[in-house]
């Protein structure tokens, strides 16, 4: 009977285990594909001390248990031969019933991976450090912004989680806080001042060409509606008796020029937005001056849209963004004091800031804005300046 092999501490070694002359242990095994592989460690058992100067690592027998568990759980070798790109393509193919904007985001990520060497990397070879290094590279070398990288990671993280759940990999390498890896260089959309808002609206009202857009832009500044919610409004959504605007859908147009009605951006988006008498007057003029089309467009059962383009189809966000761009260009070509960039979202942010500065209860403002999370609303309260703080202090002390 042959004598059992032992290590330098006279411990019996199991089948496949050996100890090299330098003291390092090795375990040799055959994987599920019939290929011979080896793992190494400076410790045989988890109770063994770490050799001086050696990196901390699992003991050999802890690694053996992992291998045994992988084989029992049938974790695929070589990550099932999926690359990062093919994994994301599979993940996207299983996502049905998503918004068209989400589909566009998926397509963008796939196109990025097709051009980047990272897309060809086998998924079982992607470690935590690799994932972090790639996102850093996207920002520092490729020049992508934080929001863009946030979107990319937002696709890769669930895709790798799917691979983990399918036993293709042991651990998802994209499970980390993005802000701990790359710099958040997002540019905060600043609200315009009340004076700038007045000057901007006055200019539009007095301009012979752009005055036709005055009522719509006034409403955006004084309701905080998202532009897609505003574009989706129909005559039936305006309740003059109760002075409120019903918001239960939004209108968008895809890159294929298809009109789409979707639910508001968040669950809290379904709401009634109160309107002042001035806003109500704007809606009355809009409805009164609305030219009846040859045939009322019907989008997913909705009809009577407030604003129609030259083709008798509902106006969408792009229309208003272009109008406001042209208004700004004309204003700044006339006046020395330049007006900052104003977009539909700046109108929304300005309304939110004005209400916050006026002392509106945050929960009330959250409801009007349709924010799903109160923290989004509260962030607006951080945009106040010294003058706002000073006047608020005087108001409180005066009480």
Query: Catalytic residue numbers?
Result: 226, 265, 345, 348, 371, 381
3 state SS of 297: coil
**Radius of gyration (C-alpha) of the chain in whole angstroms:** 31
How many whole angstroms separate alpha carbon 280 and alpha carbon 284?
Answer: 6
How many whole angstroms separate alpha carbon 77 and alpha carbon 62?
Answer: 19
Encoding tokens for residue 218?
């006034």
Half-sphere exposure of 102 (CA within 13 A, CB side): 11
3 state SS of 26: strand
Encoding tokens for residue 266?
């968040």
Q: Residue written as tokens 């890769």?
A: 156
| Pair type for strands 36-41 and 250-253 | unpaired
Q: Residue written as tokens 């890159």?
A: 255
The DSSP-derived string for 76-130 is: PGGGGG-BHHHHHHHHHHT--S--HHHHHHHHHHHHHHHHSGGGGSBGGG--HHH
| Pair type for strands 259-262 and 25-30 | unpaired
Residue 392 Rama label (left phi>0; alpha psi -120 to 50; beta): alpha
Q: Do 219 and 230 form a contact (C-beta atoms < 8 A)?
A: yes
Burial 365-385 (b: 16+ CB within 10 A, else e): bbbbbbbeeeeebeebeebee
DSSP state of 272: E
CA separation (Å) from 21 to 9, 24, 26, 108, 331?
13, 7, 11, 53, 81
Burial class (CB in 10 A: 0-12, 13-18, 19+), 197: buried
Q: Do 243 and 280 form a contact (C-beta atoms < 8 A)?
A: yes
How many whole angstroms separate alpha carbon 60 and alpha carbon 66?
Answer: 10
């Amino acid at each position: 009977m042959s004598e059992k092999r032992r290590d330098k501490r006279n411990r019996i070694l199991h089948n496949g285990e050996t100890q090299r002359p330098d003291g390092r242990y090795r375990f040799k095994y055959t994987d599920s594909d019939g290929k011979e592989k080896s793992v190494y460690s400076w410790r045989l058992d988890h109770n063994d001390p770490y050799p001086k100067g050696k990196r901390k690592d699992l003991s050999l027998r802890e690694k053996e248990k992992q291998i045994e568990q992988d084989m029992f759980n049938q974790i695929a070798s070589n990550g099932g031969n999926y690359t990062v790109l093919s994994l994301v393509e599979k993940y996207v193919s299983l996502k049905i019933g998503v918004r068209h904007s989400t589909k566009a985001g998926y397509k963008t990520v796939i196109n990025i991976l097709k051009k980047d060497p990272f897309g060809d990397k086998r998924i079982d070879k992607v470690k935590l450090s690799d994932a972090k290094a790639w996102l850093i590279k996207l920002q520092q070398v490729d020049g992508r912004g934080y929001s863009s990288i946030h979107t990319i990671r937002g696709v890769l993280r669930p895709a790798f989680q799917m691979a983990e759940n399918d036993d293709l990999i042991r651990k998802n390498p994209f499970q980390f806080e993005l802000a701990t890896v790359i710099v958040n260089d997002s540019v905060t959309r600043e609200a315009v001042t009340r004076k700038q808002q007045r000057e901007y609206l006055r200019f539009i009202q007095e301009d012979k060409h752009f005055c036709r857009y005055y009522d719509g832009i006034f409403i955006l500044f004084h309701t905080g509606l998202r532009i897609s919610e505003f574009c989706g409004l129909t005559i039936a959504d305006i309740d003059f008796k109760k002075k409120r605007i019903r918001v239960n859908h939004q209108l968008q147009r895809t890159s294929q020029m298809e009109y789409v009605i979707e639910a508001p951006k968040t669950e809290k988006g379904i709401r009634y937005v109160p309107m002042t008498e001035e806003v109500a007057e704007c809606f009355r003029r809009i409805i009164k001056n609305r030219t009846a089309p040859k045939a009322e467009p019907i989008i997913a059962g909705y009809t009577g849209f407030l604003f129609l383009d030259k083709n008798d189809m509902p106006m969408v966000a792009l229309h208003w963004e272009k109008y406001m761009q042209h208004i700004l260009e004309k204003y700044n070509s006339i006046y020395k004091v330049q007006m900052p960039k104003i977009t539909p979202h700046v109108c929304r942010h300005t309304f939110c800031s004005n209400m916050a500065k006026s002392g509106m209860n945050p929960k009330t403002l959250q409801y009007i804005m349709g924010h799903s999370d109160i923290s989004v609303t509260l962030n607006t309260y951080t945009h106040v300046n010294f003058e706002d703080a000073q006047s608020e202090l005087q108001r409180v002390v005066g009480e």
